[in-house]
């Protein structure tokens, strides 16, 4: 924290905004390998919540790296800073009373633990989109695995950089053996009660 700043507390609080919106705000954090289906699931879950009148906003890895985090590389230190900034943004979104969906590889356990510190463990739902490397490579939606195997991409999670799977996620979705529709329903069934 900067020594020359003082936190200003406003009269309207997160609780006031949640009351106005009629639901709690949470951070749904989708983690998994590139191509696992994180963004697809987050998009479909957000659509379902929106149809129920729940205020939402999605944060996505590629979108964030084209804007606020475009100055960061994929080195371990920059990955950590990427996640820290996203957690701070998500915290602001939740203060606004919005259910925030974040789809990020976020390969390190410590970084995901740090998110809990920033937003509060009670506000954080870790959703592990557990898709095998083989399936992610088969999908290779962005062509990243092919480039990584050819040596064109350095620090590719799952190939030349590690992915530390969650040890005890709030929810684990195995997309190798579960349809998208069933996966979305599993997530909705898990979170809907938490929003009341």
Q: Tell me which DSSP letter residue 156 carries.
A: -
172 in Cβ contact with 128 (< 8 Å): yes
4-to-9, 10, 89 alpha-carbon distances in Å: 16, 19, 21
Q: Which two tokens stand for residue 109?
A: 């356990």
Active-site residue among 58, 106, 132, 179? 106
* 106 classed as catalytic: yes
Q: Strand, helix or coil at 128?
A: strand
Among 36, 7, 29, which residue's Cα sits nearest to residue 158?
36
- Distance (Å, whole) CA 108 – CA 133: 17
Active site residues: 106
């Amino acid at each position: 924290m900067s020594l020359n700043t003082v936190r200003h507390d406003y009269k309207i609080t997160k609780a006031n905004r949640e009351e106005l919106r009629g639901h709690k705000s949470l951070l749904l954090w989708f983690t998994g390998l590139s191509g696992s289906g994180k963004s697809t699931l987050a998009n479909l879950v957000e659509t379902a919540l929106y149809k129920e009148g729940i205020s939402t906003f999605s944060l996505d890895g590629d979108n964030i790296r084209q804007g606020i985090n475009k100055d960061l590389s994929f080195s371990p230190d920059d990955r950590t800073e990427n996640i820290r900034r996203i957690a701070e943004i998500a915290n602001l979104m939740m203060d606004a009373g919005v259910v925030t969906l974040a789809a990020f590889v976020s390969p390190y356990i410590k970084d995901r633990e740090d998110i809990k510190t920033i937003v509060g463990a009670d506000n954080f739902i870790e959703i592990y989109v557990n898709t095998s490397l083989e399936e992610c490579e088969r999908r290779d939606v962005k062509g990243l695995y092919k480039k990584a195997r050819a040596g064109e991409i350095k620090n590719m999670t799952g190939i030349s950089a590690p992915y530390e799977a969650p040890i005890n996620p709030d929810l684990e979705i195995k997309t190798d053996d579960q349809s998208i529709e069933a996966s979305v329903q599993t997530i909705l069934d898990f979170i809907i009660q938490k929003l009341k």
